[in-house]
Amino acid sequence: MVKVEKFINESIGKIRDDVNGRAIIALSGGVDSSVCAVLANRAIGDLLTPIYIDTGLMRKGETENIKRIFSDMNLQVIDGKEYFLNVLKGLTDPEKKRKAIGQAFIRVFEEEARKLDVKYLIQGTIYPDRIESEGGIKSHHNVGGLPSVIDFEGIIEPLADLYKDEVREVARALDLPREISDRMPFPGPGLAVRIIGGVTEEKLEVVREANAIVEEELLEQFGPWQTFAALIEKGTGVKGDMRVHGWIIAVRAVQSRDGMTAEAMELPWETLRKIESRITSEIPNVSRVLYDLTPKPPGTIEFE
């Protein structure tokens, strides 16, 4: 604990020394950017503007949660829902989707930064990000690599030497709520990589609702490393006495140490049945629910 307190005090001091003007941070709601925002806010107060982009690819309730948790900061919430849907229009290839989302993030963020006349960028890059960005099977999109157009006077990365577990410890010491400090990983491109192929508003709504049900049923009770719902395609089913052509939802729940390998969790049958029954009854246009048994490798954790 002493080490954590020391890290917090030193980081705040260092940010205060290094930042000499307005600064921004892209706040995603993940633990890294949240911790950075709190440290920077303690260091420079209202000189920091955290920017949160609501891409429409977020989980249920995410934007409201962020607004509530960071209500004492100078937070700017940008509604990018239409823009991101537009950017994704017609794209079905996973890597093209990732790239388009990454570029859209940069564009929106830079536009806001320009309006604010900021000089400094604060980023939640952690130690493994630096390693990963050198290799990488997927073009992992994070808001890293941002400063392409804007000439920042300084880029500050207070967490650059920390591992994820250490960031979580700092988050707890900073009194961030557990929903942030203990949060499971969520991909930067959000629900877009949990929809196979093209992204539409309808598919987003379905996968968002299904995901919320899966989290409710599994997160607290089974402590998975990661769990979520993905939307596969359409399939035929029967609801009432009508044949329906409804969405197929896959449920994923894995244990893993670092995301590099993973095992599907062995869940009780009645839990799986309850998830199936909730998803098919609470979301009208879903006709089928599958449970993914595939370990990584040969699968990946996400579906795209």
Residues that bind ligand XMP (CB under 6 A): 98, 138, 140-142, 185, 187-189, 193, 226, 259, 296, 300-302
Q: How far apart are CA 108 and CA 118, in angstroms?
A: 15
Separation CA 256–CA 265 (nearest Å): 10
C-beta of 7 vs 105, nearer to ligand XMP? 105
To ligand XMP, the closest distance from the beta carbon of 214 in angstroms equals: 14
Residue 261: CB minimum distance to ligand XMP, A = 9
Which residues 6+ apart lie within 8 Å of 233 measured at CB?
196, 197, 247, 248
Q: How far is CA 237 from the centre of its chain?
A: 32
Strands (E), the chain: 23-26, 48-54, 76-79, 120-122, 154-156, 226-239, 242-255, 263-264, 286-291
Complete DSSP assignment for 189-225: TGGGGGBSS---HHHHHHHHHHHHHHHHHHHHHH--S
Q: Which is nearer to ligand XMP, 48 or 58 (CB)?
A: 58
Instruction: Give phi and psi for 52, each to the nearest 5.
Output: -115, 125
Kindly tell me which of 50 and 102 has the beta carbon lying closer to ligand XMP. 102
Are the C-beta atoms of 141 and 105 separated by less than 8 Å?
A: yes
As to burial, measured by CB atoms within 10 angstroms (0-12 exposed, 13-18 middle, 19+ buried), residue 123 is buried
Shortest distance in whole angstroms from residue 139 CB to ligand XMP: 7
Instruction: For the CB of residue 259, give the shortest distance to ligand XMP in the complex, in Å.
Output: 4
Residue whose CB is less far from ligand XMP, 225 or 291: 225
Give least dist CB 83 to ligand XMP, A. 19
Residue closer to ligand XMP (CB basis): 41 or 227: 227
Q: How far is the CB of 31 from ligand XMP (least distance, A)?
A: 12
Give the C-alpha separation, 7 to 186, whole Å: 26
185 or 235: CB nearest ligand XMP: 185
